[in-house]
């Protein structure tokens, strides 16, 4: 093999490995993650299966009102032909005596074709409409699932970003405190400070290391949770292309407080309305049970009787029979069963009407609550930005004073602890703002 061929082989292998690695790594913005979850998440796939099943159920109900055609065949082999008792006087015998006579043949074969057609049935007509309304309900449930999937994916996406941000802050604090520890250790080695100062800083460093370890574990679980919600392999590497700063900037918009809610197209309202329509159709279906039903039917059959099994012989006779007719069923008395069913379904309808109104009012209340929480989160976020800037300034000045011997290790510990607390509050405030924005979008029915 020539050198050129070897190089070409290595190049092909490298490109294949690079392509495989690229296929394993997925880059997603928040909107892309939401859409991917809508397309492939377990929750959405399950919701679509439910809708597909209900669509097939409509065809199942519809088929009951269409012609039903069946064929049948029956072969009888009389091991012993039945014996009948006939008055003997028919054959010149004594009055009061009976003659034993066997009627029939050893083999009987019957082939039949039957067809039925529903002409009128009130319960069927209402049931057909109800099945279509159930499809509408399932479709609305699918919309509700989509809204929840988008919300949950956003929460998980935010959690991963905030965990990464928290890990970054902790690592920066660890680097800073390690530098302070090295400086303090040098001062102690030169007899310019006490062992207690060194131990105090080591204690702070160890606590930060513990926090880093816990945050790394939390970040790993958060990543897998996001993958699960999206519907991809838990171990697949996903790069989040949106930053926490950009998402917070997008969420930091008081104009959302002026948005008009879309109550009557909200999935929760649509589901409640579909439930009410189904209850209404249930009442109509129970009332339709009082109406008569009419069916048409047709039967055709041929039969043959043989003492020998020679049904395939063309010269042997077959005896046809055909019937066509109508069947009218008229309900007369059910011992108040139908009446009880109607009354029960009417109560269910009234309950569903109340639940629809309850859903409407609850959605309106949810909008007010979401706007209030969002406004609160905005103010908290603005205050926290100022607080973390102040804490950082205080910590920087205290570090300078400590290196100059003006501040004690206790004061340095207080300022660093205060900075960590404010950084933690900063992360929490960002999460609360993003969550409040998501809740407001959900309440306003904005995808």
Residue 239 is assigned to a structural domain of this protein: yes
Q: What is the pLDDT of residues 110-125, one digit of tens each?
A: 999 999 999 999 999 9
| DSSP H/E element including 100 | strand 98-102
C-alpha to C-alpha distance for 371 and 213, rounded to whole angstroms: 37
Quick check: 185 pLDDT over 80?
Answer: yes
CA dihedral 423, 429, 430, 435 (to 10 degrees): 150
Tokens coding 247: 């998402």
- DSSP state letter for 445: T
Residue 224 is assigned to a structural domain of this protein: yes
3-state secondary structure of 105: coil
Residue 249 is assigned to a structural domain of this protein: yes
Q: What is the pLDDT of residues 278-289, one digit of tens each?
A: 999 999 999 999
Lowest-confidence region among 22-26, 44-48, 127-131, 369-373: 22-26
Find the mean pLDDT for residues 88-97.
Answer: 80
Q: How confident is the model at residue 406 (pLDDT cuts 50, 70, 90)?
A: confident
Residue 91 is assigned to a structural domain of this protein: no
Between 325 and 244, residue with greater pLDDT: 325
Residue 417 is assigned to a structural domain of this protein: yes
Residue 108 is assigned to a structural domain of this protein: no
Quick check: 7 pLDDT over 70?
Answer: no
Residue 93 sits at φ, ψ, to 5 deg, of -85, -175
Q: What is the pLDDT of residues 314-364, one digit of tens each?
A: 888 999 999 999 999 999 998 999 999 999 999 999 999 999 999 999 999
Q: How confident is the model at residue 144 (pLDDT cuts 50, 70, 90)?
A: very high
The CATH number of residue 31's host domain is: 1.20.1600.10
Domain span at 165? 25-65+121-291+331-444
Residue 311 is assigned to a structural domain of this protein: no
Find the mean pLDDT for residues 76-105.
Answer: 84
3-state secondary structure of 28: strand
> 191's torsion region: left (phi>0), alpha (psi -120 to 50) or beta?
left
Over its C-alpha atoms, the chain yields an Rg (Å, rounded) of: 41
Q: Angle at Cα 404 formed by Cα 402 and Cα 409, nearest 5°? A: 20
Between 214 and 404, residue with greater pLDDT: 214
Quick check: 10 pLDDT over 50?
Answer: no
Domain count, the chain: 1
Residue 54 is assigned to a structural domain of this protein: yes
pLDDT for 14 equals 44
Find the mean pLDDT for residues 157-170.
Answer: 93
């Amino acid at each position: 093999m020539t050198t050129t061929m070897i190089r070409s082989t290595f190049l092909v292998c490298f490109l294949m490995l690079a392509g495989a690695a690229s296929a394993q790594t997925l880059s997603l913005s928040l909107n892309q993650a939401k859409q991917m979850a809508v397309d492939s998440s377990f929750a959405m796939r399950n919701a679509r299966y439910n809708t597909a099943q209900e669509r097939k159920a409509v065809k199942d109900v519809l088929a009951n009102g269409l012609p039903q055609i069946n064929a049948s065949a029956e072969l009888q082999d009389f091991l012993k032909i039945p014996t009948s008792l006939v008055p003997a006087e028919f054959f010149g015998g004594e009055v009061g005596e009976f003659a034993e006579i066997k009627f029939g043949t050893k083999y009987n074969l019957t082939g039949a074709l039957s067809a039925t057609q529903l002409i009128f049935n009130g319960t069927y007509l209402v049931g057909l409409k109800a099945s279509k309304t159930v499809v509408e309900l399932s479709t609305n449930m699918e919309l509700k699932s989509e809204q929840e999937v988008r919300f949950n994916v956003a929460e998980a996406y935010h959690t991963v970003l905030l965990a990464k941000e928290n890990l970054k802050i902790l690592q920066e604090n660890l680097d800073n405190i390690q530098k302070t520890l090295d400086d303090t250790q040098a001062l102690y080695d030169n007899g310019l400070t006490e062992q207690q100062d060194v131990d105090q800083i080591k204690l702070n460093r160890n606590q930060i290391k513990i926090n880093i370890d816990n945050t790394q574990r939390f970040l790993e679980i958060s990543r897998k949770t996001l993958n699960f919600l999206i519907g991809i392999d838990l171990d697949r590497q996903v790069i989040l292309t949106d930053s926490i700063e950009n998402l917070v900037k997008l969420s930091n918009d008081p104009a959302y407080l002026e948005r008009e809610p879309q109550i009557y197209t909200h999935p929760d309202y649509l589901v409640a309305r579909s439930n009410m329509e189904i209850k209404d159709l249930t009442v109509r279906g129970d009332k339709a049970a009082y109406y008569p039903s009419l069916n048409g039917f047709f039967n055709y059959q041929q039969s043959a009787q043989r003492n020998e099994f020679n049904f395939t012989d063309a010269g042997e006779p077959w005896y046809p029979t055909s019937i066509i007719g109508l069947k009218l069923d008229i309900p007369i008395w059910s011992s108040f069963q139908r009446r009880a069913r109607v009354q029960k379904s009417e109560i269910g309808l009234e309950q569903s009407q109340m639940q629809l109104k309850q859903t409407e009012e609850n959605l309106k209340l949810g909008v007010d609550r979401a706007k209030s929480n969002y406004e609160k989160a905005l103010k908290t976020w603005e205050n926290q930005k100022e607080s973390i800037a102040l804490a950082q300034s205080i910590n920087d000045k205290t570090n300078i004073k400590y290196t100059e011997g003006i501040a004690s290790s206790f004061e340095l510990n207080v300022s660093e602890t205060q900075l960590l607390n404010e950084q933690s509050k900063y992360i929490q405030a960002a999460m609360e703002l993003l969550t409040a924005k998501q809740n407001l979008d959900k309440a306003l029915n904005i995808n």
